[in-house]
Amino acid sequence: MLITLDIDDTLYLERDYVLSGFHAVDAWLHANGHGFDFANKAWALFEQGLRGTIFNQVMAEKAHRDAGLISQMIEIYRSHSPCISLLPDAKSFFQSCGNHDLAVISDGPFMAQERKVIALGLNNYVNTIILTDRWGREFWKPSPRAFREVMEQRAPEECVYIADNPEKDFIAPVTLGWQPSFRVRRQHSLHELKITPKNCREIVSLNDLKL
């Protein structure tokens, strides 16, 4: 069987990456003469549920709306080497998955996802890793391109996907006739409160997988 996995909130908690990135930006700001309590202010907004505009809002509160500086901060965030690690159940899964073929399909800015792959040591466990942004954002999920590529000559019923986001992750596997996917609803995951699609099997840990 081919078992294909997502990365964010499937193998580790994405909030850990976010916090790691905020601290990397904080250190860069201090090193370049713009230092203030950025990481804690950004994290507080993240914990309040703000997404997408955190950098702008924190800098606006400091009366610093330099678009060039904010662009540099975003680049530091995406290119930093994150302080993240596999969750215990993910590590156990990789160590005990037997003869199953393993692959990874993940969206997000390419450099950021590549650094996550390195930090998590995924090349030690997985032969095929597809970061969809290498083809462009139009090939992020729900595009089926990456799923077709990992299938190769396998029959759809020999393939299963394990991921976390009900809004986009499971559309392509259904379209291609894969086995019902597993939706991992982790506590503190970014999509924890979203409803699991009817055609998915819900688990809270990779320890609960029944293949």
More confident residue, 180 or 100: 180
The predicted-structure confidence for 36-91, as pLDDT tens digits, reads as follows 999 999 999 999 999 989 999 999 888 777 889 999 999 999 999 999 999 999 99
> Over 80: is that where the pLDDT of 182 sits?
yes
Of the candidate ranges 18-22, 98-102, 119-123, the one whose mean pLDDT is the lowest: 98-102
> Over 90: is that where the pLDDT of 145 sits?
yes
Q: Which pLDDT does position 66 carry in this prediction?
A: 80
Q: Which pLDDT does position 61 carry in this prediction?
A: 85
Average pLDDT, the chain: 95
Share of the chain above pLDDT 70, in %: 99
Burial 184-211 (b: 16+ CB within 10 A, else e): bbbeebbbeeeebbeebeebebbeebee
Q: Which pLDDT does position 165 carry in this prediction?
A: 97
Q: What is the mean pLDDT of residues 114-120?
A: 98
**pTM higher than the cut 0.85:** yes
The predicted-structure confidence for 188-200, as pLDDT tens digits, reads as follows 999 999 999 999 9
Q: Which pLDDT does position 169 carry in this prediction?
A: 98
Q: Which pLDDT does position 175 carry in this prediction?
A: 96
Q: What is the mean pLDDT of residues 88-114?
A: 94
Q: Which pLDDT does position 91 carry in this prediction?
A: 97
